[in-house]
Amino acid sequence: MIDERMDASTSRWISVVFLQDEDASELLAMIDRDGEAAAIEYLQQWDLGDETTDAALVNGYVYDRIPVGSADRTIEDPDSPYALTYSEMYGYVSLLRRYEAAPDAEPVVPGATVETSAPFRDAIPQHFDVDPALSAHRTRHVIAL
C-alpha cells in the first residue's frame, strides 16, 4: 500500500536493517512482549538517513513494493515512512523505509561501495518470496503508531 500523498512512480522501499537467527530472536521476543510498534521504534535507530539510503541504492536493496514471504507478517503505518516484516517461522525481522526517488537523481554506479557505521548492515535481506502467487497467505496489518 503506497501512501496516497506520494507519487507511486517515484516511491520505493529501502532496507534499513535485516536481522536473522540469533540477532532476530530478541526482536521477535520484543514483538511478542511489547508489540510491533515497539519493534519499529527500536529498529529506527539503525536508520542513518542518507547513509542508509546510499548503502541501499549501491547494494541493490531497493524495492518497488515491500518484499514479503508467505510466512511473513507485514506491519505498515501509512503515516510513517517505515514498514516492519518478520517471520517467527524463519526467524527474521526487517525494517524498511519509504524512499522517494528524485526525478533528477544521479544513477547509482554498479560496483560502487558505500562505507557505513550501522550495525547489522551486512545482514540485509538476501532473498524474499515476492511472487504474489506464493505470498497470497501473508498477513498484512496497517497500524497507527
Give tens-digit pLDDT for 73-108.
Answer: 999 988 899 999 999 999 999 999 999 876 555 544
> CA 23 to CA 79: how far, in whole Å?
28
- Does pLDDT of 114 surpass 50? no
- Does pLDDT of 133 surpass 90? no
Closest CA to 81 of 99, 57, 63, 59: 99
* Average pLDDT value for the chain: 74
Closest CA to 79 of 1, 19, 16, 8: 1
Closest CA to 65 of 126, 3, 118, 20: 3
What integer pLDDT is reported at residue 11 of this predicted model? 76
> CA 143 to CA 111: how far, in whole Å?
38
Query: 3-class SS at 34?
Result: helix
What pTM was computed for the model?
0.67
Closest CA to 47 of 91, 83, 2, 79: 83
Mean pLDDT calculated for residue range 4-22? 75
